Structure 1
């Protein structure tokens, strides 16, 4: 049955020229899209949310977060707020 589910493949490239591809079910992209977002914008939102969530968890719920890691988490939270117009805490209801 899962073979019947339509998928969409996205290409990712970095400043150093490395590339990767990820394939996800197309319906999930549609499910989490906001308004008239493109599929690429939707995947970008999910990716930034994932990085912010992981960084938050490591810094605030993990162990031994050093100054560099705390700075990385602060930067991703700034980027999150720039993209979404709200803080991570406002968006997720998870505030410290």
Structure 2
């Protein structure tokens, strides 16, 4: 059954010129897209949300963070707010 689900492949290129492709169900991308977002924008939103969520968890719910990890978490939260126009806490309802 899962082989019948249409997929979409998104290519990722990093500043260091490495690349990777990620394949996800196209319907899932459509489901989480907001408005007329492109597939690339939607996947980009999910990537940023995932990094913000992971960083938040490591700093606030994990083993504790050192100064570098806390700085990384602060930076991803700034980038999150720049992209989405709200804080991570406002977006998720999870604030400390």
- Interval containing the TM-score (normalised by the shorter chain): over 0.9
Partner of 1:37: 37
Q: Write out the 4+ residue segments of structure 1 that deviate beyond 3 Å after TM superposition.
A: none
Tell me the C-alpha RMSD between the 2 structures. Answer: 0.5
TM-score computed with the length of structure 1 as normaliser: 0.99
Task: For structure 1, list consecutive stretches of 5 or more residues without a partner in the other structure.
Answer: none
Task: For structure 2, list consecutive stretches of 5 or more residues without a partner in the other structure.
Answer: none
- For residues 26 and 88 of structure 1, what CA distance do their matches in structure 2 show? 26
- For residues 92 and 64 of structure 2, what CA distance do their matches in structure 1 show? 24
TM-score computed with the length of structure 2 as normaliser: 0.99
Aligned-residue offset at 1:63: 1.0
Query: Within 5 A, what are the aligned runs for 1:1-96?
Result: 1-96=1-96
Number of residue pairs matched by the alignment: 96
SS in 2 for 1:23: strand
